[in-house]
Amino acid sequence: MPEQQPLFEDCPVYPETAPPVGSEWASIYDWTCTLYHYDGTSLVDYLYDMLDLGGGHLSRRFIHHMLWCIKVFDRKQQNYGPENIAKLGESGIMSRVSDDKFSRLKTLNQNPDGVLEGEPALDAWHDACIYGALGAMVHVGDWPSCEELGINSKSIEQVCHEAIEMAARGDGTTADDALRYIEENLPK
């Protein structure tokens, strides 16, 4: 591989090891500058050319953010797997973005220092971006379903409703039986 050259003058060459999630953007950006295509061109320039983009510097900066989102997505998949997204579905993903991520951003914006311990705003913005892509994947069927993963896809509401119906039928189901049914069938 040819010797690595910085993509921009303000982007030095750094080790190829990705910084930890939660790092400052400067170190993340520096890391994305170390990514090179097999022919020695920066991955950012390669993607810019291959996608036939024309937005110049801003499009290249956007690619840096997307590369980081890919890295964060992959780390989270290694840690948590696909089950939680399969259970959430599109409506659950929308809820996570609007309730969790944007609430965190609102809190950070209202905080005079703009910082919460261990929760930088940059992470929340990148998480929102990742959830957008996850929602698109679920929408077009690129994400495995609960059935494909062999997991219980019933919501808490569905399980409670079934337990209430069992008790209402009067088929000998006691309150303890209904509670046991709920415990055994709650999504894990």
Helix (H, G, I), strand (E, B) or coil at 116: strand
pLDDT at 70: 95
pLDDT at 105: 86
pLDDT at 44: 94
pLDDT at 49: 95
pLDDT at 7: 45
Helix (H, G, I), strand (E, B) or coil at 119: strand
What is the pTM (predicted TM-score) of this model?
Answer: 0.71
Which residues are CB-neighbours of 124 under 8 A, at least 6 positions away?
Answer: 101, 102, 104, 105, 108
pLDDT at 58: 96
**Same domain? 5 vs 71:** yes
- Which of 77, 110, 136 is the C-terminal boundary of a domain? 77
Number of domains in the chain: 3
**Same domain? 7 vs 66:** yes
**Same domain? 147 vs 161:** no
Q: What is the pLDDT along the chain (188 residues), one digit of tens a residue?
A: 344 444 444 444 444 578 888 888 999 998 998 888 878 889 999 999 999 999 999 999 999 999 999 999 999 999 989 988 988 889 889 988 888 888 888 888 887 666 667 678 888 899 999 999 999 999 999 999 988 988 876 666 676 777 777 777 766 666 667 667 666 666 55
DSSP string spanning 13-48? ---SSPPPTT--HHHHHHHHTT-B-TTSSBHHHHHH
Range of the domain at 148: 81-152
